[in-house]
């Protein structure tokens, strides 16, 4: 199977170069183009037909979220991984709503990107060369955002579950309170979603000791 084609979008030439080198190090991926503006990104997606776009949010002429919305509005279902320093809850929610496969916060190291690229590859190729998908194939496609076959417990919504997981992917490691602040829900509600993902094996938890009071439970994706 041919390599997955990647378009890197970032207005900082040096950052784009680093991200491109990271991508090229991952087996099964190749960088086919680089764009520094929103307008160029849209043009290059149309010209190059990449499989994946590494998309920064802060671009000089428009937001990367605007680029994502434009692509979806035009019926383009290219894979998008938001790669940005933006941590605002509204931005994370918009990325989820736009169907972003992952949300990775700068700065990050090679392994952070590699694991997400490999997850994208598994999802992207799950339906390759098959005429009809079974449930296992479908689950593999939705796995990056935690949308597997298991139904959510009563009282939990899929939209909020996706936002919680995206916030966790963006933040690296968060407490329930930090996650709640990013998503815009209560701490108790955020913890219910986080513990659900722990039970599913999509999220790990650890206790952080230090200072007075009870240790803090912190979560990260696995």
Q: What is the pLDDT of residue 147?
A: 42
CA distance 29 to 51: 10
Residue with the bigger pLDDT between 80 and 205: it is: 80
CA distance 204 to 184: 22
Confidence band, pLDDT 50/70/90 cuts, at residue 202: confident
Residues of the chain above pLDDT 90, percent: 44
Q: What is the pLDDT of residue 102?
A: 86
CA distance 206 to 76: 40
Q: Return the minimum-mean-pLDDT range out of 37-46, 105-114, 143-152.
A: 143-152
Strands 174-175 and 102-105: unpaired
Pick the CATH number of 4-125 from 3.40.50.2300, 3.40.309.10, 3.30.70.260, 3.40.50.1820: 3.40.50.2300
Task: Tell me which residue of 83, 78, 68 sits closest to 22, measured CA to CA.
Answer: 83
Tokens of 129: 């060369």
Instruction: Domain ranges for the chain, please list them.
Output: 4-125, 158-221
Per the CB < 8 A criterion, the answer to whether 196 and 130 are in contact is no
Q: What is the pLDDT of residue 83?
A: 92
What fold is seen in the domain 158-221? Arc Repressor Mutant, subunit A (1.10.10)
Residue with the bigger pLDDT between 40 and 107: it is: 40
pLDDT digits (tens, 9 = 90+) for 86-139: 878 788 888 888 989 888 888 888 888 888 898 888 877 776 655 666 666 666
Confidence band, pLDDT 50/70/90 cuts, at residue 145: very low
Residue with the bigger pLDDT between 116 and 147: it is: 116
Q: What is the pLDDT of residue 149?
A: 40
């Amino acid at each position: 199977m041919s390599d997955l084609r990647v378009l890197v979008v970032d207005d900082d030439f040096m950052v784009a170069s680093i991200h491109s080198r990271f991508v090229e190090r991952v087996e099964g991926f190749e960088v086919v183009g680089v764009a520094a503006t929103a307008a160029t990104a849209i043009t290059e997606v149309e010209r190059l037909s990449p499989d994946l776009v590494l998309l920064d949010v802060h671009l000089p002429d428009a937001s990367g979220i605007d680029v994502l919305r434009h692509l979806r509005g035009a019926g383009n279902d290219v894979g998008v991984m938001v790669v940005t320093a933006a941590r605002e809850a509204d931005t994370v929610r918009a990325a989820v709503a736009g169907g972003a496969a992952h949300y990775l916060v700068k700065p990050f190291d090679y392994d952070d990107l590699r694991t997400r690229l490999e997850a994208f590859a598994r999802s992207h190729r799950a339906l390759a060369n098959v005429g009809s998908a079974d449930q296992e194939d479908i689950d593999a496609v939705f796995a990056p955002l935690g949308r597997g076959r298991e139904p959510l417990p009563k009282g939990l919504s899929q939209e909020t579950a996706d936002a919680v997981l995206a916030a966790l992917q963006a933040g690296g490691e968060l407490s329930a309170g930090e996650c709640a602040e990013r998503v815009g829900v209560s701490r108790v509600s955020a913890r219910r979603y986080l513990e659900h993902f722990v039970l599913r094996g999509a999220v790990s938890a650890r206790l952080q000791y230090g200072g007075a009071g009870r240790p803090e439970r912190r979560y990260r994706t696995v």
